Amino acid sequence: MQQIKTARIGLKAALQQQSLIRKEAEIRQQCITEFILQNACISAKNTLLDQRIFFADDKCWKEFTDALESPPKYKPTLENLFSEKAQWEK
């Protein structure tokens, strides 16, 4: 079901931005408004998801904090990896 659109969003763009947006909207066979709204909503959702809020009960929280506070486990392969020079340093 399509929502009734009554809210207005005004924006100004440089000619290069407008041209880029118009070209991509044409490739996707969308009008510019739909293209901008779709991509702005995707970006907004991703930004909100990146807040990384999570919930845990007392037991899970205790296990999580215990893992953070415990000393790291020795991993020889990781030590070898970090002892090598990076590609750009060779």
Domain residue spans in the chain?
Answer: 15-89
Q: Which of 78, 2, 1 lies closest to 34, judged by CA?
A: 2
Distance CA 18, CA 62 (A): 52
Average pLDDT of the segment spanning 20-37: 96
pLDDT digits (tens, 9 = 90+) for 30-88: 999 999 999 999 999 999 888 877 778 999 999 999 999 999 889 999 988 989 888 88
The pTM score is 0.54
If pLDDT is split at 50, 70 and 90, which confidence band does 24 have? Answer: very high
Helix axes 32-49, 15-27, angle to 10 degrees: 90
If pLDDT is split at 50, 70 and 90, which confidence band does 16 have? Answer: very high
